[in-house]
Amino acid sequence: MSSDPTAAPIGPVPGGARVDERHESATLPGYVRLWWQGVKAGELGTLPIIFGLVLIVLTFSILDDKFLTERNFTNLLLQMAAVATIAIGVVFVLLIGEIDLSVAFVSAVGAVVMTLLLRPDDPGWPWWAAVGVALLVTTTIGLAQALVITKAGVPSFVVTLAGLLIWSGVVLILTTQYSTAGTIRIQDDRVVGIANDFLPEFWGWVLAIVVVVAYAAIQLRTAIARRSRGLAGKPTVLIVLQTLGLALVTLAAVWYLNQDRGVPQVIVILGVFLLFWSFIASRTRFGRHVYAVGGSAEAARRAGIDVDRVRIAVFMISGFMAGAGGIMLASRLRSVATNTGGGNLLLLVIAAAVIGGTSLFGGVGRVIAALLGALVIASIQNGMDLMGLASGTKFVITGLVLLGAVLIDAFAKRRRAARGGV
Amino acid sequence: MADTPLLEVKNASKAFGAVQALYKVDFEVLPGEVMALVGDNGAGKSTLIKGIAGIYPFDQGEVLVEGETVHIHGPRDAARLGIEIVYQDLSLADNLDVVANMFLGRERLLGGVVLDESSMERSAGETLESLSVTTLKSVRQAVAGLSGGQRQSVAVAKAVMWNSRVVILDEPTAALGVAQTRQVLNLVRTLAEKGLAVVIVTHNLHDVFEVAERITVLRLGQRVAQFEREKTTQQEVVHAITAGKLDHVPGMEAGAPAAVAEAEAEAGAEVEA
């Protein structure tokens, strides 16, 4: 190989693995084995959360027989939707290793702006214009905060903490100025319908079937395209098993929801958001850069990525999703009030993102974490409400669950670091 | 070996405020050659490669690629000219897999939107194979799970993927064990055999004598010696690093002994950025 006598022959280092393992993932046992190796190395993915969710559902269904009823399942989804929506934006912020403490009150600003624009004859805007402007406002808030963070170099923690105070003040000012009792009702049927309408039974089924078929088609197409290029594709057996699993869960959920009022419209909206942002995060160049900035901002910068632009875009996403979630919340309550965005909304949203498996250290997590985390939070809240626990107890338990999730994250990070050591 | 240097720096000077970090330095590397750039802390090694990379452009002097004067104003210009720099372990994102790292910032797209994962994965695999990097389990493995040598190999492969002609490695073996160092040095030889011009910046003379054809020694911002490996010894290189004769004294070409001492004290204060 080399004419140079001092150069040793090139080959695997003692103890190095064989090349053949590259194609190991093409068979089912091989795929499972590699996945398990990843888990042991700290790539936990959604494993702890799904385990936790099953545990929570089992616990509450034993403790309270109302927990698993159709009605309660529907309510649980309705409670969860807005939290999950806002948490999607928070997942992006956590992915770049930053934090956004302003989301709850930014969501409230969105809700209040929309509600004010909708007031009959004053100015009585159509629903789409009011919603559009509200989202524009919250996205702009995200932009403004991001500009301070990136251009002035102030940590996002401080900037968004200031934002938390500012936007809570703005909500208070607007709601007290435009109402006498501190509550402004939403009278537009379309907007109220966002969180209070349900799909007819038939369309619920159609939706479930479309989701399952589309999932199978995308998975198969990717695997076939990879194999045709000589790369290891996901084993077909696994795709079939996963599709069956998804079909089972989706069809059972739709059947159950149809026993009550049907599939909530807000869940369809949430589903669209989840699909869209998952696509952005995992399949586009921007998404790749988001992960890179979170993993190592220095490496990203050296690779020619405009790190500040990625940061700004991410905070705008956070603002936009906060606005969307705020509108869902307002729609569900059919009003906004002086305390909109207050309470424990912020904590629930950030807890949802973290419990769902998004690392606080940046660079690790998926958009679906927002949904899984929100499901856990909503299940716990809902279950404890059914059992009639005192507020104090509920806070303590929710806090313990969050602590557990953070500990799992820290533990997994240590495992990853141990493997990554020289 | 061709006679025109692939990369040549002529008469380069750079000052940071009152500190003369580089003074009238000439540097060159031929295609198919491994050139070692050695010197003590503060000798100006980093300043020189950062100047070539366009991170801190030189105050004076010119850079030539294949005999033609070029103007480099940033890493992107350097990349366009085929000059890639591999920094000590700083160019990889731990959370991304090998493929994502190798294409970071230059991802291939399908239809202008979707990442073309299979095409990137294939090219990454091919590049690694062509460099005889065979110890990776999978190119879809996160970089966090790699050994130091594997990480360095990925960083190098990332650099040579872009039809680069000049690869500059900054302390490539600084944090590595024996087997890992071996692996990286083999990789360095492979690069040179492919006809690339390779510059290896290092403190480790053992590595230098193992892979380099020629050795450029910087001291206090000046080039004090250039050796051919075959015709020199470690002692000679060490002597040049610690006590090489300075030809110029900034601001005082005559070079009186007192002025030399003063210049040395001044240049010694330089902090390697």
More confident residue, B255 or B5: B5
User: Does position A291 have pLDDT exceeding 80, yes or no?
Assistant: yes
Interface test with B, best of A3, A21, A22 (most B CBs within 10 A): A22
Mean of the pLDDT values across residues A38-51?
75
pLDDT at residue A422, as a whole number: 31
Task: Work out the average pLDDT over B90-94.
Answer: 84
Q: Is a pLDDT exceeding 90 seen at residue A86?
A: yes
Output the six-digit token pair for B149: 């040598």
pLDDT digits (tens, 9 = 90+) for A90-130: 999 999 999 999 999 999 999 999 999 999 888 889 999 99
The fraction of chain A above a pLDDT of 70, given in percent, is: 91
B-chain CB neighbours of A420 within 8 Å are 94, 143-146
Cα-based torsion angle of the residue sequence A282, B115, B120, A420 in order, rounded to the nearest 10 degrees: -20
> 3-class SS at A181?
coil
The pLDDT, as a whole number, for residue B258 is: 46
- Give the pLDDT band (50/70/90) at residue B85: confident
Between chains, do B79 and A305 touch, taking CB under 8 Å as contact? no
Query: Which of B49, B80, B102, B104 to substitute to test the interface with A, most A CBs within 10 Å?
Result: B104
pLDDT of residue A23: 56
pLDDT tens across B201-211, in order? 988 888 899 99
Lowest mean pLDDT among A10-24, A122-136, A300-314, B169-183: A10-24
Query: Quick one: which of B221, B268, B215, B272 has its CA closest to B247?
Result: B221
pLDDT in tens, B10-55: 999 999 888 888 999 999 999 999 999 999 888 889 889 888 988 8
Extended strands (E) in A170-240: 183-185
Q: Which of B102, B153, B144 is nearest to B124 (CA)?
A: B102
Q: Which two tokens stand for residue B182?
A: 């071996």
The answer to whether A364 contacts B95, with C-beta atoms less than 8 Å apart, is yes
Please write the tens of the pLDDT for every residue from A136-185.
999 999 999 999 999 999 999 999 999 999 999 999 999 999 988 889 99
- A1 reaches B (C-beta below 8 A): yes
- Reported as a single tens digit per residue, the pLDDT across B112-133 is 889 999 899 999 998 898 888 8
Q: How many beta carbons lie within 10 A of that of residue B6, not counting itself?
A: 23
Q: How far apart are CA A384 and CA A346, in angstroms?
A: 19
Average pLDDT, chain A: 88
Nearest CA in chain A to B108: A285
pLDDT surpassing 70 at residue A22: no
pLDDT given at position A24:
61
Higher pLDDT, A116 or A43: A116
**Which residues of chain A does B114 touch, with a Cβ-Cβ cutoff of 8 Å?**
283-284
What's at B156, amino acid-wise? V
What fold, for A66-197+286-413? Answer: ABC transporter involved in vitamin B12 uptake, BtuC (1.10.3470)
Q: What is the pLDDT of residue B35?
A: 95
Greater confidence, A142 or A20? A142
User: What is the pLDDT at residue B55?
Assistant: 81
The residue ranking higher by pLDDT, A397 or B264, is: A397
The fraction of chain A above a pLDDT of 90, given in percent, is: 67
CA angle A47, A51, A55 (to 5 degrees): 170
Q: Do A303 and B107 touch (CB under 8 A)?
A: no
- What is the mean predicted confidence (pLDDT) over A9-25? 43
Closest CB to A6 among B132, B149, B210: B210
Mean pLDDT of A400-422: 74
Q: What is the pLDDT of residue A323?
A: 98
Q: What local confidence, expressed as pLDDT, does residue A265 receive?
A: 95
Bigger pLDDT: B264 vs B49: B49
Q: Which residues from B are below 8 Å from A298, CB to CB? A: 90
Distance from CA of A205 to the nearest CA of B (A): 30
pLDDT at B89: 63
Residues in A 34-53 with any Cβ partner in B closer than 8 A: 34, 41, 43
Domain B7-95+164-268 class in CATH:
alpha beta
Percent of chain B that is helix, strand, coil (3-state, to 5):
35, 25, 40
How large is the average pLDDT for residues A203-229?
91
A101 touches chain B (CB under 8 A): no
- Average pLDDT of every residue of chain B: 84
What pLDDT does residue A168 have? 96
